[in-house]
Amino acid sequence: MKLLVLGVNGFIGSHLTRRVVAETDWEIYGMDLAADRLGDMVDHPRVHYIEGDISINKEWIEYHVKKCDVCLPLVAIATPASYVRDPLAVFELDFEENLRVVRQCARYGTRVIFPSTSEVYGMCPEPPFNEETSLLVYGPIHKQRWIYACAKQMMDRVIWAMGQHRGLRFTLIRPFNWIGAGLDTLATPKEGSSRVVTQFLGHLLREEPINLVDGGRQRRSFTYVDDGLDCLLAILRNEGGRCDGRIFNIGNPANDVSIRELAELMIDVLKEFPDLAPLAEKAELREVSAEAFYGKDYQDIGARVPDITAAREVLGWEPKIGLREALRRTIAAYVADWRAAREALDPAGGA
């Protein structure tokens, strides 16, 4: 099977590439702006990487949509701080650029696996969120946080309609707060620029206070990336076409915690690393308002738990990694990179 992966160096793209190389005989044709997360996987004979921008290198993309069996358009801005800071960039990349690729998939008969998002459920008041029955609930227009959810929801609806009216073969996937190595960079300069786990870890390592937005009462269900990838690989295999025309939540309902509990658990896990335990002992939690942290256009989601009955029943999939272990593995990967970077800067100091 030939896969076209746009955004192949992203968090999901790079983990997918690692798994495809290790576990299948598939070929990956991948484009991204850089290849740092891919590392030496770019030299693998079944990984055909090209540096490029999906809004510029359009001919390469069209040629490969035609040539490949499955397309995964993973390029998107997916950090909440960006939704309020630059909503038009979110619309242009997440909606307009991806729509062009999806139209080509319909034109050339290429199966598409599109990353929808847990965010499409918005402030749905009835968790767990179900793919078939849950309401998709957003705030008013001036709350630009919802432009991402809205762009993704519109893509979901367009893809669904193309399935009905233009014969597009598709599967929509909805990741619920996946975490793991390579989620964001630890050194993100601005608060709120990365997802919560990387943001908190960066603060802990730099001995800065952790910000609990609105006290950290809001809840998320964190999913370890390897669990998520098990599900995505089953969807790619698509035995008997069982995933065609379907939507799958991919999350771990057992890992539902408040953001305050997440911070406390991360501090606890950091204590398992002997040289970092002193940082954990000194950790400080401070409460900040959402408006002070993100600006007035932000609005939060109180709870986000996936109903994963569909993935369980159709694919026999079950997430296996509990939150403590997921954090342990994620933190270990980041800490290894962080130590290497510090030693490169200060070889005599050592960590």
What distance in Å separates the CA atoms of residue 309 and residue 248, rounded to the nearest whole number? 9
Q: Looking at beta carbons only, is 145 or 329 nearer to ligand UDP?
A: 145
* Residues in 277-306 that interact with ligand UDP by CB under 6 A: 300
β-sheet with 70-73: strand ranges across: 47-51, 27-32, 2-6, 70-73, 111-115, 170-175, 246-250
* Residues in 77-96 that interact with ligand UDP by CB under 6 A: 80
Which residue in the set 15, 37, 220, 328 belongs to the binding site for ligand UDP (CB under 6 A)? Answer: 220
| Residue 213: CB minimum distance to ligand UDP, A | 3
Which residue in the set 72, 155, 162, 259 belongs to the binding site for ligand UDP (CB under 6 A)? Answer: 259
What distance in Å separates the CA atoms of residue 90 and residue 4, rounded to the nearest whole number? 22
Question: Are 123 and 137 contacting, i.e. CB atoms less than 8 angstroms apart?
Answer: yes
Q: Looking at beta carbons only, is 8 or 183 nearer to ligand UDP?
A: 183
Which residue in the set 8, 151, 196, 229 belongs to the binding site for ligand UDP (CB under 6 A)? Answer: 196
Residue 73's DSSP bridge partners are 6
Which single residue is written with the structure tokens 């969120």?
Answer: 129
Q: Looking at beta carbons only, is 92 or 300 nearer to ligand UDP?
A: 300
Exposure string of 284-312, with b = 16+ CB inside 10 Å and e = fewer, is: ebeebeeeeebeebbbebebbbbbbebbe
What distance in Å separates the CA atoms of residue 176 and residue 274, rounded to the nearest whole number? 31
Residue 264 found at the interface with ligand UDP (CB under 6 A): no
**Could you give the string, one character per residue 34-73, with x where binding to ligand UDP holds by CB under 6 A and - elsewhere?**
----------------------------------------
Residue 122 found at the interface with ligand UDP (CB under 6 A): no
Stretch that binds ligand UDP, among 40-48, 130-138, 195-203, 228-236 (CB under 6 A): 195-203
Residues in the chain: 351
Residue 218 found at the interface with ligand UDP (CB under 6 A): yes
Applying CB under 6 A, the site for ligand UDP has a residue count of: 15
What distance in Å separates the CA atoms of residue 342 and residue 205, rounded to the nearest whole number? 11
Which residue ranges make up the site for ligand UDP (CB under 6 A)?
80, 119, 177, 192, 195-196, 199, 211-213, 216, 218, 220, 259, 300
